[in-house]
Structure 1
Amino acid sequence: MAKPAAQRVLSRLDDLPPLPRNTMRLGEIIEDPASTPLQLAQVIEQDAALAARVMRLANSAYCAVSSGVDNLERAVCLLGFSTIHHIALCLQSLQILGSQGPPPPEQLMEHSLQVACASQLLAERLKLPLPQRFFAAGLLHDIGRLALYVLEPEQAHNWPERAEQEPDRLLAERQLFGIDHLEAGRLLAGKWKYPRALLGAIANHHPGLDGGGTEPAVADRQLQQVVCVADNWLRQLDRSSLPGVAFAPRTKP
């Protein structure tokens, strides 16, 4: 039987609202091999924020289109279905969590952005396909930690002290919240029906994890490994401020 703290977190995760219908519809279209860029574009245009983000990315140096991109259908063709789906998941997931409680510590969001940038850079250096999806995976890799902070702010306030007492950060999370951020992220990704590869990167981005004994596809494993390397590398760069990323800012002595 789960401990009371874990039961409370699990209940609050379960009570989070679902992703908007448009975002779920994008996933359905992407899974249909007969779908077309026009179908995807028609769903995207119903979400002004997503449409703007897609157009901005399509016209960025990332796509390097000298003539410019002036319609969503062409943007879809340039970016690819998977990249656009990941962008939509990022936008909506962060928006929902942001509406549930206090804003997350700047340090937590900064680390997620750093991992996102490092993941995409590694993917580009390794010449892996669709490097933009590595950015999205990096941005969402700690969605479980963000959820714990938002849903359990009082417990999160005690994180710095607990982290000092217990060097194993996952164990410290389980002691404090009854659940660690990998499991919280896995549950949240399942609830919101994230693609398998993205769920795997969220649940298995710490070294030594095997994905629960299930051998992922090559592309899925690449996503997990790149995010894991980026996350571990950044934490090694600054152990004093990113030992596992504190839930609340440390107070100066």
Structure 2
Amino acid sequence: MPIKLEHILKRVQALPPLPTSALRVIALTKNPDTSVKDLETVIGRDPALTAGMLRQANSAYYGYARRISSLQEAIVMLGFQVTQGLAMASAVAPLLKTDLLGYGIEQEGLWKHSLLTAMTAKRLCQHRKLPFGDVAFTAGLLHDIGKLVISIYVQEVGPYLLEKVKEAKFTYVELEEKVIGFNHATVGGFLAKTWFLPQDLVSAISSHHAPSQAQSHVELASVVHVANGLASLLGIGGGVDNFLNPIQQDALDRLALKENDLERLMADLGEFLVDPTLFG
């Protein structure tokens, strides 16, 4: 039942746009002339964004001993790039907190999986001393947004996909491509472009299941690929494909990751999960 591209694009365009405030934050954090006051002014105009940012900033993940009570304090203490990630998290949370029947994802499941992937991607960058940890956080947060679009098609062929993934030597995402005509990563790239996101995010989202095929930002795509795989192993939120898209060895090799590195990252994931406020 291959779906025509025009049908996919119509569903992409039907999703609500990102809040203007979140897009403005992304633009400001990329401008070296931006001040703390500039960011505070833009974020402060959006009460939901402000509340979401402060909630995330006070989670155990960031580890501050005292409570951060103002936007200015959060921006100064966390930095511009972390502010960008928090703004994006607050902006997309309502979209990601939805049932996706095609993937067997209950309400908030995709949000939990996406946030775990984001945190793992950033921690992986810290572990390997890679300079793009905050971009990796945002890419991890958004990596599965294509599921919002094609879940309805997966719902129609879900039992068939699960049957074939057991019979054939294909991953679940490869079967999405073969049966539906598009996989959720590619469709996520379409959506990222519709939202006017930067190319590094578009590339990482589009290629997070096949980082070696990324046309740019291969290392970033590899980080998101591994982080997604580790988050999936916990079985929290992701869906029926959690264990059906294994981590690729070439991504591990590219990042020089060994088994003990993965064990350490999984232990970090476990530490995140003890925070009752993590998923807000």
| TM bracket, shorter-chain basis | 0.7 to 0.9
Instruction: Tell me if structure 2 keeps the 8 A contact 1:9–1:152.
Output: no
The Cα offsets for residues 219-239 of structure 1, whole Å up to 9 and x where unpaired, read as xx5432221222345567889
Cα distance in 2 for residues equivalent to 1:241 and 1:190: 26
Equivalent residues in 2 for 1:227-242 (5 A)? 227-233=224-230, 242=243
Q: 1:124 to 1:48 in 2, by over 3 A?
A: same
**Which residue of 138, 141, 144 corresponds with 2:140?**
138
Cα distance in 2 for residues equivalent to 1:187 and 1:163: 25
Amino acid at match of 2:139: A
Tell me which residue corresponds to 1:248. none
Tell me which residue corresponds to 2:16. 17
Percent identity (aligned):
28
**Which residue of 96, 113, 118 corresponds with 1:116?**
118
Q: 1:71 to 1:224 in 2, by over 3 A?
A: same
Instruction: Tell me if structure 2 keeps the 8 A contact 1:58–1:75.
Output: yes
Q: 1:76 to 1:143 in 2, by over 3 A?
A: same
How far off its partner does 1:240 sit?
8.7
Q: 1:146 to 1:186 in 2, by over 3 A?
A: same
Cα distance in 2 for residues equivalent to 1:99 and 1:64: 29
**Does 2:75 correspond to 1:73?**
no
Q: With the length of structure 2 as denominator, give the TM-score of the two structures.
A: 0.68
**Does 2:192 correspond to 1:189?**
yes
Cα distance in 2 for residues equivalent to 1:28 and 1:68: 28
Instruction: Tell me if structure 2 keeps the 8 A contact 1:162–1:176.
Output: no
Amino acid at match of 1:225: S
Number of residue-to-residue matches in the alignment: 236
Instruction: Tell me if structure 2 keeps the 8 A contact 1:183–1:203.
Output: yes
**Does 2:178 correspond to 1:175?**
yes
Tell me which residue corresponds to 1:33. 32
Any stretches of 5+ residues in structure 1 without a counterpart?
246-253
Tell me which residue corresponds to 2:42. 43
Q: What value does the CA root-mean-square deviation take over the aligned residues?
A: 3.5
Cα distance in 2 for residues equivalent to 1:97 and 1:199: 18
Cα distance in 1 for residues equivalent to 2:26 and 2:20: 10
**Does 2:205 correspond to 1:205?**
no
How far off its partner does 1:44 sit?
1.1
How far off its partner does 1:70 sit?
2.8
Cα distance in 2 for residues equivalent to 1:242 and 1:7: 31
Cα distance in 2 for residues equivalent to 1:165 and 1:14: 35
Tell me which residue corresponds to 1:244. 245
Cα distance in 2 for residues equivalent to 1:180 and 1:133: 23
Equivalent residues in 2 for 1:92-131 (5 A)? 92-96=91-95, 105-106=104-105, 109=110, 111-129=113-131, 131=133
Amino acid at match of 1:28: A
Q: 1:199 to 1:20 in 2, by over 3 A?
A: same
**Does 2:212 correspond to 1:224?**
no
Tell me which residue corresponds to 2:149. 147
How far off its partner does 1:117 sit?
3.7
Amino acid at match of 1:146: L
Instruction: Tell me if structure 1 keeps the 8 A contact 2:99–2:105.
Output: no
Cα distance in 2 for residues equivalent to 1:94 and 1:58: 15
